[in-house]
Structure 1
Amino acid sequence: MTATAAAPEETIGMMVKRWRERRRRSQLDLSLAAEMSTRHLSYIETGRSNPSPAMIERICDELDVPLRERNRFHLAAGFAPAYRERPLTDLGAAQDAVRAVLAGMEHHPAVAVNVHWDLLAANQAMEAFLRDLPGELRRPPVNMLRATLHPDGLAARIMNLGQWRSHVVRRVRRQLERTAADGLAALLAELEAYGPPSPTTGPAADGTTADDLVVPLRMATPYGDLALLYTATVFGSPRDVTLDEIAIETFFPADQATAQVLRSLADLRTAPRAETPT
């Protein structure tokens, strides 16, 4: 079992207050939702009362606190961490589920990432997109956002880079606000430091069309221009820190031309190799 201890100067009361304010909840609102008195919650926040493990869980449930941070709550209150943290390879049926989803989406690029968008697993379709990245960006752990937006990465191929970069930066900000995960602020600053791309002109400068349902990722490839949309899949009711932070992101074709290219590439990967004459 692993967990990062809370900073020595931060008490359990300070943590409760910080997360309550992060979620923009009043003491009255939170106390009613967690079925406790406002006075008890006030005593917890000021250090006059120490919550039980069960009370910590009720408060964290109402504030949607991630499991990694919940372990810090328990440690700050003087209790053992409540949740284990195991590598993906030690997650049994959950690992099998991740592998099954990635394999089942083999016609579409798909990847499993953690809370920082570090690569945990990818299917062959996604590996084909990452194959030409420079060695520095392929050094483990591969960060999918860095690989996408770094000037030496896939950014040179993204046709609507300004639009996609803005979308990614907003998404990282939301992730940071929701999770307060260590390292996310540094990643956000790095992505912002890449700077906006050179301005483009013309009716399609932002990469959108009137028929777009979502913000597409538009990429130029040797096989033609691709328009991709993505979905994110997470596990319901996780009880492990690693599992709580895993998301499977799958890219689907946003138009028929892209669908045809992805099918053709999948057929090339699965076609039997011709035997070499001896």
Structure 2
Amino acid sequence: MWHTPGSGNLSGMTMTAEVPVGELVRRWRERRRRSQLDVSIAAHLSARHLSFIETGRARPSREMIERLCDELDVPLRERNALHLAAGFAPAYRERPLPDLGVARSAVETVLSGHEPNPALAVNVRWELLAANRSMQLFLGDIAPELLTPPVNVLRATLHPDGLAPRIRNFTQWRDHAVRRVRRQLERTAAEGLADLLAEIESYPAPAGTDDTVDTTANDLVVPMRIATDDGELSFHYALTVFGAARDVTLDEIAIETFFPADDATAAALRALGPDTETATP
């Protein structure tokens, strides 16, 4: 199942050329909690030169923008914003995932190869890009309006009309999701994440869910417990991203692979059948 969400505009933390490039550099430096001296040493320029860039007294070259972005771990979408603000063309292309050739094939291979366990691919805004057959079975039992493309996976999962009534440890799982989005927002400053964060924080716990939170658990071991016709299923997940991406779309893709957290869940998934295809349009 492939969806093609809108690619968005060049916005992010501030994706307009109206904000000076130096101001954008300063914002990313402060977001990373780095001093001018620290960044200048690491990026091989003087603190005076970096100060001049941030105050607009000097305009960085393309090479300098990339050096600073590398040091400040700026996402590719936001790097394009800095290039635009400095008067240059965007440095990185943004193509739909179906046009990414071997990258699309790699995603399909991971999703289909993970059967019978659920797996899906999302972008930085948590919009669904693709899902394998097992994940489609879980997503298919929610309100149709939540499945209108672009499907937001967090909304489909945590909304009262979504998967939420079947998540037995809803409060624990929502709190875990909130922490993930907060970290993601801090790292990427992606457009729309702040609104999505506020939305999922506002969702009430459905009646009948277990609100007991194990405060000793950490993000590595929080399970998702789902009530099904076959009994309660429990999952852990792993996250996969592409390294050294040179395309905005690829830079923002994450593949979530879910694993059974107990023998009963593993047996229930094996009973789903041998079909391992990942549907594509």
TM-score normalised by L of structure 2: 0.89
Partner of 2:271: 264
Deviation (angstroms), 1:199: 9.0
RMSD: 2.2
Give 1:189's match in structure 2, choosing from 193, 198, 209: 198
Q: How does 1:72-91 map to 2 (within 5 A)?
A: 72-91=81-100
5+ residue gaps, structure 1, are 271-278
Q: How does 1:153-192 map to 2 (within 5 A)?
A: 153-192=162-201
Partner of 1:111: 120
SS in 2 for 1:233: strand
Aligned CA distance change for structure 1 residues 157 and 207 (closer, same or farther; 3 Å)? farther
Partner of 1:36: 45
Give 1:144's match in structure 2, choosing from 143, 150, 153: 153
Deviation (angstroms), 1:2: 8.9
Contact 2:160 2:204 (C-alpha < 8 Å) held by counterparts: no
Quick one: which amino acid aligns to residue 113 of structure 1? V
Deviation (angstroms), 1:7: 3.0
Deviation (angstroms), 1:135: 1.1
Aligned CA distance change for structure 1 residues 208 and 125 (closer, same or farther; 3 Å)? farther
Contact 2:169 2:209 (C-alpha < 8 Å) held by counterparts: no
Partner of 2:279: none
Quick one: which amino acid aligns to residue 246 of structure 2? R
SS in 2 for 1:129: helix
Contact 2:237 2:256 (C-alpha < 8 Å) held by counterparts: yes
Q: Between Structure 1 and Structure 2, how many residues are aligned?
A: 266
SS in 1 for 2:272: helix
Contact 2:17 2:81 (C-alpha < 8 Å) held by counterparts: no
Partner of 2:135: 126
Matched, 1:17 2:12: no
Structure 1 Cα separation of the partners of residues 91 and 53 of structure 2: 19
Matched, 1:4 2:13: no
Aligned CA distance change for structure 1 residues 68 and 25 (closer, same or farther; 3 Å)? same
Partner of 2:3: none
Q: Which structure carries more relative contact order (alpha carbon 8 Å, separation 6+)?
A: 2
Deviation (angstroms), 1:9: 3.7
SS in 1 for 2:273: helix
Contact 2:233 2:264 (C-alpha < 8 Å) held by counterparts: yes
SS in 2 for 1:232: strand
| Bigger Rg, structure 1 or 2 | 1
Structure 2 Cα separation of the partners of residues 235 and 99 of structure 1: 14
Deviation (angstroms), 1:195: 3.4
Deviation (angstroms), 1:106: 1.4
Deviation (angstroms), 1:194: 1.2
Give 2:245's match in structure 1, choosing from 238, 241, 252: 238
Contact 1:109 1:126 (C-alpha < 8 Å) held by counterparts: yes
SS in 2 for 1:266: coil
Aligned CA distance change for structure 1 residues 106 and 17 (closer, same or farther; 3 Å)? same
Give 1:99's match in structure 2, choosing from 108, 111, 118: 108
Structure 2 Cα separation of the partners of residues 142 and 258 of structure 1: 26
SS in 2 for 1:265: coil
Contact 2:237 2:257 (C-alpha < 8 Å) held by counterparts: yes
Structure 2 Cα separation of the partners of residues 177 and 197 of structure 1: 29
5+ residue gaps, structure 2, are 1-6, 277-281
Partner of 1:276: none
Structure 2 Cα separation of the partners of residues 207 and 222 of structure 1: 26
Quick one: which amino acid aligns to residue 141 of structure 1? P
Contact 1:68 1:241 (C-alpha < 8 Å) held by counterparts: yes
Quick one: which amino acid aligns to residue 252 of structure 1? F
Structure 2 Cα separation of the partners of residues 85 and 262 of structure 1: 36
Structure 1 Cα separation of the partners of residues 8 and 254 of structure 2: 21
Structure 1 Cα separation of the partners of residues 150 and 115 of structure 2: 22
Percent of matched pairs sharing the same residue: 67
Deviation (angstroms), 1:206: 2.8
Structure 2 Cα separation of the partners of residues 21 and 208 of structure 1: 31
Deviation (angstroms), 1:235: 0.3
Q: How does 1:58-77 map to 2 (within 5 A)?
A: 58-77=67-86
